[in-house]
Amino acid sequence: MKVGILGGGQLGRMLLQAAANYTVETFVLENDANCPSAHLCHHFTKGDITDFETVYHFGKNLDAITIEIESVNVDALDKLEKEGVKIYPTPAAIRIIKNKIIQKQFYKEHGIPSSDFIITNNKEDLKTNTHLLPAVHKIGEGGYDGKGVQVINSISDIEKAFDAPSVLEQKVAIQKEIALIVAINEKGATAIYPVSEMMVNPVLNLLDYQLSPALIPEKALWVVEAVAIKLVKALNSPGLFAVELFIDKNEEVWVNETAPRVHNSGHHTIEANHCSQYDMLWRIILGYPLGNTSPILPAAIINIIGTDNYSGDAIYEGLEEVLQIDNAFVHLYGKKQTKPGRKMGHVTLLHNNYQDLTHKANKVKNLLKVKS
């Protein structure tokens, strides 16, 4: 089977590591020939995943295509799908998720709990909707890794709002920020991974570290899983989805966003769950039964992020000390160049005790630095 991946970043890299368990022939499309995935596929094509012709020509002789980022040319995927190429997830599902305005409308239409919002076409629109403040302003298309998101706490913040089609969402009084991954196959069978809890760094608006399975009240857990399954079923597409949610101070559950692909919040599934999210997606694409999502041990993910004030050839400090920790697993994405805030890798820690796990996660954060 010939399967293409749009995008050649770290998610593609981990997908390709898992692909080598099967007989799949792999193709990657990505603009950067030195990307993390380029040397791990059978066929690498340098090209723009947002360009119609490039994506169409890349895909037309393949059996199936998946994505590792949603900013792809969906029109080309539509055409490919009509011509018989299987797309995971379907172009229709990518289209819903790719644009945050359409995504919010989708939640509303399907009764998925998500905070109140309005669509804004420019900054001016915010001024007539100040009743939603404090709120979060998200640009419709093109946001990534915290870019394309602005917190608008009061009228004085409106100046930094986006002057383009966006969505203004009422802020949730967050108690916990969680995520869970749901796999759904062609027949509609689902497999759900344990919920992960994100510890967010408010400065970079990037994930600081993550614990899984999350320690959340049983009743909230029940709601979270039901909401995630409902959402994924409403998308009506086989594939793997990461649903990000909030539990508010009243233990109510709100969907924040969904990603239609393998996701950062599932990195730990490589070592911490019997079937990783990467293996799971291959099982879906290749038509095999879904795998076992049970956790082996509680896990933490610590992102390895380019240290401030360092740009250039990456040097990793503290790797040896980190790898001395029992059940510390390092994943470096093979990016030659570091820059402040760039995702260069991650560490997964396993431990049966959450207190020790948190302690070790902080230790790893303090030990490991990417300099140049």
- Is the Cβ of residue 254 or residue 333 nearer to a copy of itself in the bound state? 333
3-state secondary structure of 150: strand
- Span interacting with a copy of itself, options 70-78, 99-107, 201-209, 269-277, rule CB under 8 A: 269-277
Q: Does 323 bind a copy of itself (CB under 8 A)?
A: yes
Exactly one of 6, 16, 181, 243 binds a copy of itself (CB under 8 A); that residue is 16
DSSP letter for 171, please.
Answer: P
Residue 170 interacting with a copy of itself (CB under 8 A): no
Only segment of 70-78, 138-146, 193-201, 327-335 that touches a copy of itself (CB under 8 A): 327-335
Residue numbers 34-53 binding a copy of itself by CB under 8 A: 39-42
What is 304-365 written as a DSSP string?
Answer: EEBPTT--EE-EEESHHHHHHSTTEEEEE---SEE-TT-EEEEEEEE-S-HHHHHHHHHHHH
Residue 316 touches a copy of itself, criterion: CB under 8 A: yes
CA 350 – CA 128 distance, rounded (Å): 49
| Contacts with 296 (C-beta within 8 Å, 6 or more apart), sequence order | 271, 272, 273, 274, 350
- Contact between 188 and a copy of itself by CB under 8 A: the answer reads no
Helix (H) or strand (E) holding 217: none
In the list 249, 288, 308, 337, the residue contacting a copy of itself (rule: CB under 8 A) is 288
Which residue, 139 or 240, is less far from a copy of itself as judged by CB? 240
CA dist 22 and 27 (Å) reads 14
Nearest to 237, CA basis, from 85, 91, 72? 91
CB 296 within 8 A of CB 274: yes
- Which span sits near a copy of itself by CB under 8 A: 58-66, 148-156, 249-257, 288-296? 288-296
Residues interacting with a copy of itself, by CB under 8 A? 13-14, 16-17, 20-23, 26, 39-42, 271, 274-275, 279, 283, 287-289, 291-292, 296, 314, 316, 319-320, 323-324, 326-327, 329-332, 334, 350
